[in-house]
Structure 1
């Protein structure tokens, strides 16, 4: 929906809920029914009470329902997070419910591993093919020298290969291979043999098509079911689905599958804190049962198994990546609109925008961590 085709915002209701929201936004740079791109245009009188009662879940669902709009949701998110409203936007019941669930249940158990694949990654390859670049990389690009999304994703894939010190003939395990972006790159440009695993049927099908004729095998399986040995292991954008109760199992599995002298590269979104939590809107609509690791959680879980050789943070690049995906989505939505409803379009727009704003505010990070197993000598990490 363009700004010209939107309805006019309603007159703001004179309610306590509206006054509370206005007071929270005071000094943030965001106004209600203002003209700036970050300003929130109100289309429903119950928006304020919904947000105060339901927190970020209510805010996201209200956007999906058309109750509010902003020309730049990413900038709106950036400003309110920089204003300190991130934690205050979560209700106590939200935090308590997730902590109770994650405390008593393994939300990312082997039996539940395929939930996120069915809910998100299997949504439709036609959607992701238009939103992503030709490499089909669904993770942060590396924009150090890139001028567009494709260059950034190619640079990310090549950076990962260089950090793994790939040589022709090496057998690489790709944990969470997605649509085969890394597998194709490593096989085609470095002569590697790649085994990729995913919990998404749609991803597996397309990855096999894209890697046809290359020494690549794509398996629909969980990482805990793997056997054998691999010269190198890589995991790009999958660790966010592992869960804190499984971190030790994850690194123990990598240790078991990696020979002495082998290298492992972990590419993951990271949290600034070690609190076990998840945004309720993201958890319900985008990545069910996902949880972001902290530096401490990664280091503690890996220290009994591997040597940490290098840690690189290029979280600011995820802002650029997400905004490029949003541009692609909006530019091509008309091609697939007949397969989806407008609520799904708004769901994806909101997801990409708020995540871009969170990375812009540095509330979220993106880490590439290189590990070795029993490696002797010097490890020099490329940049």
Structure 2
């Protein structure tokens, strides 16, 4: 056994994983250079090797869960590529208006057909709220209702949805709460479908950067947007929200959360899934809101993202026979790898899912937090 293989085998033992073992979470290696590649290139090499068919694993989600619970990600550091990611993030603003479009081109414009088949009816590409839910559709409707109730929506309010996706929240809020919604996105594909689904409702969909908004709103929210804002822009985001939020308004941020503060993301995720993204920490968010917004409520339901990702994976696999006409096998392996490594991360509590409710210091009244969803759409 060469030194690379021996080292990896010994590390995996800490996680209860055996190379070429019989358990569903044991990796089966098909290429002799796998071990050298992983030791030299870290997570980027591991992911690319999977995409190229160098190894397989029946339960990738459990493989990642066990690795992350054993903190093997801290024992095997990446090479200079990872160091460069950190240096680059410290020196440059990777989420400028120009760079913000990188993720749109690579991820959200990949094709509405993929997302229509993988997601729920409202096409919510963010964590569902599984309290009392039996399936993905119910979990996502619960999440939409939870957000509406946390925002205290009522007829006639003007709402800004930053990073509106395919218009799922805008449609739900306008239809059930009779509010006016302005949804902004940088994705042409998302905007096109959002306009179609919100036709006939009091909804305006724009292709616009959040930093260019300059008008008053009663409520402002973002769902799965903060992960793309970047540490250098967190305060700018809070400043923009505070500037556009009316004195007695309420704002909500729904975001993945990191247990520690970083300036860079995982190299494989950065290259293939979410370029220039960054999962914020609690410290980064609270520092950003200081002087602009007051925190009223902080809700963590990170384990719900594990359930959501596994539901997406099931739907993706069921739809693959039709999708493979447009996407090749490498894409399929990449997408399954992405969904399962993220599921394992939430299962291991390495990432969280937070909903923050904030107001300005001019807010009047007593804000009451919401946890149980009331589906009566009471306003």
Same fold per superposition (TM over 0.5): yes
Alignment partner, residue 51 of structure 1: 38
The reply to whether residue 178 of structure 1 matches residue 165 of structure 2 is yes
After TM superposition, list the pairs within 5 Å mapping 1:102-121 onto structure 2.
Answer: 102-121=89-108
One of 183, 186, 190 as aligned partner of 2:177 = 190
After TM superposition, list the pairs within 5 Å mapping 1:195-206 onto structure 2.
Answer: 195-206=182-193
The reply to whether residue 69 of structure 1 matches residue 56 of structure 2 is yes
Alignment partner, residue 380 of structure 1: 368
Structure-2 separation of matches of 1:200 and 1:113: 10
Give, in angstroms, the shift of residue 277 of structure 1: 2.4
Q: List per-residue Cα deviations over 1:33-65 (Å, max 9, x = no partner).
A: 111110001111110000000000000000000
Q: Which runs of 4+ in 1 moved over 6 A?
A: none
The reply to whether residue 257 of structure 1 matches residue 244 of structure 2 is yes
TM-score computed with the length of structure 1 as normaliser: 0.95
Q: List per-residue Cα deviations over 1:292-350 (Å, max 9, x = no partner).
A: 11101100110211110000000000000000000000001111111111101111100
Alignment partner, residue 130 of structure 1: 117
One of 279, 283, 295 as aligned partner of 1:296 = 283
Secondary structure of the structure 2 residue equivalent to 1:29: coil
Secondary structure of the structure 2 residue equivalent to 1:197: strand
**Residues 89/191 of structure 1: CA separation in 2 closer, same or farther (3 Å cut):** farther
- How many residue pairs get matched? 370
Structure-1 separation of matches of 2:344 and 2:236: 33
Give, in angstroms, the shift of residue 92 of structure 1: 4.7
Structure-1 separation of matches of 2:256 and 2:281: 9
Structure-2 separation of matches of 1:377 and 1:164: 14
Structure-2 separation of matches of 1:223 and 1:190: 24
Secondary structure of the structure 1 residue equivalent to 2:214: coil
Q: Is the 8 A contact 2:99 2:276 kept in 1?
A: no
Alignment partner, residue 263 of structure 2: 276
After TM superposition, list the pairs within 5 Å mapping 1:358-377 onto structure 2.
Answer: 358-373=345-360, 374-377=362-365
Q: List per-residue Cα deviations over 1:146-168 (Å, max 9, x = no partner).
A: 11000000000000000000001
Give, in angstroms, the shift of residue 111 of structure 1: 1.8
Give, in angstroms, the shift of residue 90 of structure 1: 3.3
Alignment partner, residue 334 of structure 1: 321
One of 209, 215, 219 as aligned partner of 2:196 = 209
Q: Is the 8 A contact 2:40 2:79 kept in 1?
A: no
Secondary structure of the structure 2 residue equivalent to 1:260: strand
Structure-2 separation of matches of 1:223 and 1:209: 22
Alignment partner, residue 35 of structure 1: 22
Moved more, 209-218 or 361-370: 209-218
Give, in angstroms, the shift of residue 27 of structure 1: 2.9
Secondary structure of the structure 1 residue equivalent to 2:366: coil
Structure-2 separation of matches of 1:377 and 1:208: 36
One of 66, 69, 75 as aligned partner of 1:79 = 66
Alignment partner, residue 376 of structure 2: none
The reply to whether residue 147 of structure 1 matches residue 139 of structure 2 is no
Structure-2 separation of matches of 1:89 and 1:298: 28
Alignment partner, residue 225 of structure 2: 238
Alignment partner, residue 228 of structure 1: 215
Give, in angstroms, the shift of residue 81 of structure 1: 0.7
Structure-2 separation of matches of 1:88 and 1:97: 19
Moved more, 91-100 or 370-379: 91-100
Alignment partner, residue 205 of structure 2: 218
RMSD of aligned residue pairs (Cα, Å): 0.9
